[in-house]
Amino acid sequence: MSDELYQEITLPTGLTFKQPIGLFINNEWIKSDSKFETLNPSTEEPIISVYEAGVKEVDLAVEAARNAQKEWRKVNPDDKGKMLLKLADLLEAKTDLFSQLEALDSGKPVESNAKADIFAVADYLRYCAGWADKIHGKMIPLAYNRFAITKRYPLVVGQIVPWNYPLSMSSWKFCPALACGCSIVIKSSEMTPLSLLLFADLVKEAGFHPGVFNVISGFGKIAGQHLAEHTGLDKIAFTGSTATGTKIMQSASSNLKSLSLECGGKSPLLVFDDADLEQAAKWASFGIMYNSGQNCTANSRVLVQESVYDKFLELFKKQVIEDWIVGDPFDKDVTLGPLINKAQYDKVKSYIGKGKAEGATLVLGDKDFKFPSKGYFVAPHIFGDCTQKMAIVQEEIFGPVVAVSKFKTEEEGVANANDTIYGLAAMLFSKDFERAHRVADLLDAGSVYINSSNDEDHKVPFGGFKMSGIGRELGENAIDLYTQTKSIYCNVGSKL
C-alpha cells in the first residue's frame, strides 16, 4: 500500500480510514498527471483530491480489461459466483464506513438513505452470484442429423455512472457484468468518486483477477467521451442525463459497440378519485423527496382527479412536512440532505423561480422548514394549480420540487401523464383493480407502480421508454445486456 496513493480521512463520527486517491488499473493504484477536488455539499468545503484520468489512462484501463478478458472468461462460473458472494460479505461488513463516506461525498443522510444503498449493493451482488453458473445457451434441432447450438459470450465493457447513487447505480452495472464474465472499465462521476475507489480494494481482496475491474475518476468531456468512443470496448453502459446520453450514443458509434442507456425522467403519479388518499400522499411524498429529489424516477409530477384534488393536496402537504427533516446528513433524525453542488442548487432554485413566474401556486416552500445556512440545501417545494405547458411540469428538475395538477377524466389523466419526452416510470393510485391495470397498460413508461412509488426490486427489469433510455437493467434482462450470442451449426456427419 503506497502512502502516496492513500490519504487518511476522519469522518464526522470520528471513524478514520485510508481513502484511495489513485486510478485502479490492473489491480494496482497508479497516478496521473493531474488531480481534482471533491467537495462536501453539506459544508461546501473540500474533502480530498483524487487523480484524474485523461486519454492516456483510459487507454491503459481498456488495455488492462482487454488483456484480462482472455483468462477471465475461462474461469469456472462457480468460482465467479463465489467471488461475488465474498465481495458482498466484505462490503456488508463495512456498511458503516461506506454509508458514512457516501454521506460525506454526496450529502445523502446516513441512517435514512445511505445505509439502505449499501445494503442494496450487497443484496444485488448475491443475486448476480446466483446467475454466474446459469448463463446458458440453447440447442435448436434442425433435422434428424443437424442441429444448432447457441453460446453466450462476455464483453469488454465501459461503464459510466452518475453521482446521485454513487455505489448503488454502479452496482446495477458491475454486478451482472462480473457474473457474465465481463471485464470492466468503470468511470465514476467527478462529483462523487470516493466510494467506488474504496470499493475497488474490496474487489481485489475478493480475488478478482488483475484487469477485470478497473476504476477511473475523471470528467465526462475527457475520460467519459474517450471511454464511449474507444474501439477497444465491446459495450458502453451509461446512466445520467438525457442530453449526455445522446452524446454517448454518438460516441459509441465509433465501432458500433453495444449500448445501454438509463437517462432522465419526469415521472407522473396519478391519483384517481377512488384511491386511498392517505397512502397516495405518503408514497407521493417518499417518491419525490427521497434523496433530495435527485432521483431519475422521482414522481415530480402529481396528477389528481379534480373531485379529490383539494383533499389530496392537504394530505400531501401535511405528509411532506412530517416526513422530511432538512439538515446535516450525519444527524440520525435528518431525512433530507443537500443537493450535490452549487450548479445543481442554482438549477433547482431557478425552476422554483420559474414555477412562481408561470403562475403556479406555491403550497409549500422554504418558509415551512428549518435548515442550515451553509451548504446546498433546498427545502421541499410543492406547487399546485400547474398546467401542462409550465417548465416545472415538462422539464426534469432533479430536486425536491413537485408540480401538482388536476384532471377530470381517466382519458385526460393518461394523456397528460404521457405528455412528456420521457418515459422512465409512472405511478397510479386506485382501488379499482380493472382501472389500475387498464391505466398501467396505457402509460408510456418502463416501470409502472400501482399503489406505490419507487419501490423497485433488483429481480425486476428496469429501464425507460422514449428519451429515458435504451435497454433494461436488473433481473434476467441484465444478463442479456452483458453477453452476446454466437450460433454454431452442427452437421452430424459431413455429407452435403
> pLDDT per residue over 383-438, tens digit each?
999 999 999 999 999 999 999 999 999 999 999 999 999 999 999 999 999 999 99
Average pLDDT over residues 319-347: 97
In the predicted structure, residue 323 carries a pLDDT above the cut 50: yes
Per-residue pLDDT reduced to its tens digit, 63-102: 999 999 999 999 999 999 999 999 999 999 999 999 999 9
Say if residue 106's pLDDT is above 90. yes
Span 160-211, pLDDT tens digits: 999 999 999 999 999 999 999 999 999 999 999 999 999 999 999 999 999 9
495: pLDDT confidence band, cut at 50, 70 and 90? confident
- When pLDDT is averaged across residues 266-285 and rounded to a whole number, the result is 98
pLDDT value of residue 2: 58
Q: Which of 262, 396, 410, 473 is catalytic?
A: 262
Per-residue CA distances from 323 to 316, 320, 333, 362, 398 (Å):
10, 5, 11, 19, 19
Known active-site residue 262: yes
Q: What pLDDT score was predicted for residue 178?
A: 98
Domains 3-263+470-485 and 268-458 share a fold: no
Domain segments of the chain: what residues? Answer: 3-263+470-485, 268-458
Taking only the tens place, the pLDDT of each residue in 24-49 is 999 999 999 999 999 999 999 999 99
Name residue 385's amino acid.
Answer: D
- Closest residue by Cα to residue 262 from 162, 355, 166, 165: 162
- Identify whether the C-beta of residue 85 lies closer than 8 Å to the C-beta of residue 125: yes
What pTM was computed for the model?
0.95
Q: At the top level of CATH, which class does the domain 268-458 belong to?
A: alpha beta
Candidates 152, 177, 425, 429; CA nearest to 296 is: 425
Residue 474: what residue type?
L
For residue 307, give the DSSP letter.
G
User: Could you report the per-residue pLDDT of 116-141, keeping only the tens digit for each?
Assistant: 999 999 999 999 999 999 999 999 99
d(CA 496, CA 493): 9
Query: For residue 261, what are the β-bridge partners?
Result: 238, 470
C-alpha cell at 309: 384534488
CA gap 417, 111 in Å, rounded: 33
CATH of 3-263+470-485, one of 3.40.50.300, 3.40.605.10, 2.60.40.10, 3.30.470.20: 3.40.605.10
Distance CA 77, CA 463 (A): 27
Q: Which three cell numbers stand for residue 33?
A: 498527471
Per DSSP, the residues of 109-152 read -IIIIIHHHHHHHHHHHHHHHTTTT-----EEEEETTEEEEEEE
Residues 6+ apart with CB under 8 A from 285: 316, 319, 320, 323, 324
pLDDT the model gives residue 1? 47
